[in-house]
Structure 1
C-alpha cells in the first residue's frame, strides 16, 4: 500500500514477514506486508486482535527483526544494522507512545519529558520539556509524579516525551486504548496538533474508529496481511 504524498517514503516495507517457532510448530504472524508512509502523513493500522498489528509496528520501528523482507526508515535499511545501529536510528528519528504509558514512577512529569533530552546532552532540556507539557495542557502538573496524574494526563506526558527530540516519525500502539472516550479525544487532539505543527509522520495501531478516521489513511490487517486501504474521512485541517 503506497502513499501519494511524495516519492521518498519515511517508512517503507517490502515483502515483510514474521514467523515464530512454537510448541505446535512454525506460526506465521505477518506475511508479505508491503507499505509506504510519506513524510508528515498519518496512517492507522486497524484489524482484529491477533491480526499482527503490534508485531508490524515493532518491525517498522526496528524494535524487532523480520523473518524475511526489509524495512527502510527515513531511507535507512534497518536489516543492514546491528542492534546498536538500530538503537541509534531510533534515538535520533523515532518516538514511541504505548497503551501502558511507560512513565518512570520515580520521576515527575517534567523529569520524564526531560529524560530523553538529557540523554542526548541537550542543555535546554528543562525549557523544552516545560514547553511541550504546556502544549499538552499540563503546565500546572509539571512537578506531579505519575501516580498523582490521571490516565489521560499520563498519556499526554508520554506523548510530550515522545515528541521531545522532534522525531521524524512517531509510532503509537493503542494510544487511547486505556482511556475513556472524552479523555481519548483530548489525547487524539494533541497527537494531531503535534503532527501538524512539527510535520511528524504518525503510524498508529488502534481499535479506536474515531482515531483511525482522523488519519490520512487506514490500512486493514487481517491474518498477517494488509487486505485493504481507506482514506480517512475525518481529518482536521
Structure 2
C-alpha cells in the first residue's frame, strides 16, 4: 500500500540547509497497522506529509497503492488523496462553522458520494455522537471533536488512514477511548493504518513500530 525509496527532505533556514529526512526506505502492506515513533523534531510529521502528497520530497520516490505520487502534479495528488486516504490530526482540524454532522458530510460531498447525510449520520452513531450531531466544534469536548474527526476520516471508506498524534491533545482516559475506537473501525474496514506517535504504548497496539531518529530509520523498514 505504501512504498518509499531513498526519501529525503531538506529545507533552507537561517542556520543553513536542514536535513529533515534522509535515506528513508519504507514499505507498508495492505491491511497492516504500522506506528512511526520518535521524539519531537525527529521528522515524523514531515514523513507523514510526504506520504500523503501534501509536500514534495527533495529526493526519492513514493508509491501509494501502486501509483507513484511523486510523479503527479498537485491536482493529481489531491485527486488520489480524495480517493484513497483518510486523515486524523492531533489538532482535530474540524471546520469551526460546520456542525459535527456537516464536518463528516464534507468529504462525502466533495467526493460526490450518494446520500452523504445518511452516511454521516450513520458514522456519528458508530462513534457515539448522534445526540451531538448539530453541535459546533467549540461546543464539543476534545474527545468528542476527535471522534468526529475519526468519523470524517472513515466517511469515504479510505483504503489508507494516516494519523498524526491522534491522542496528543487528549487526557489519558479519553485518549484510550479514542484509540479503541480508531483501531476498532480500522479492523472493521480492513484499512491500512500508518500512525505517527511518541507513545510507545499506542505503538505497541500496531503490527509493528519503526523509530525515526534525527530524520533516519535506523532499521530498514
Residue 191 of structure 1: how far off its partner (Å): 0.8
- Consecutive unaligned residues of structure 1, counting only runs of 5 or more, are 1-9, 231-237
Residue 55 of structure 1: how far off its partner (Å): 0.3
1:76 aligns with 2:85: no
Contact 1:217 1:229 in 2 (8 A): no
The residue aligned with 1:218 is 209
2:94 aligned residue (103, 121, 124): 103
Partners of 1:65 and 1:229 lie apart in 2 by 22
The residue aligned with 1:138 is 129
Closer, same or farther: CA 16–229 of 1 in aligned 2, 3 Å: closer
- Give the length in aligned residue pairs: 221
The residue aligned with 1:200 is 191
TM-score, reference length from structure 2: 0.97
Contact 2:25 2:220 in 1 (8 A): no
Partner secondary structure for residue 111 of structure 1: helix
Partners of 2:63 and 2:103 lie apart in 1 by 29
Residue 229 of structure 1: how far off its partner (Å): 7.7
Residue 29 of structure 1: how far off its partner (Å): 0.6
Aligned-pair Cα RMSD in Å: 1.2
Partner secondary structure for residue 44 of structure 1: strand
Trace 1:51-90 onto structure 2 (pairs within 5 A).
51-90=42-81
Partners of 2:52 and 2:112 lie apart in 1 by 23
Partners of 2:139 and 2:200 lie apart in 1 by 30
Contact 1:177 1:208 in 2 (8 A): no
Contact 2:35 2:194 in 1 (8 A): yes
Partners of 2:158 and 2:9 lie apart in 1 by 26
Contact 1:176 1:208 in 2 (8 A): no
Partner secondary structure for residue 70 of structure 2: helix
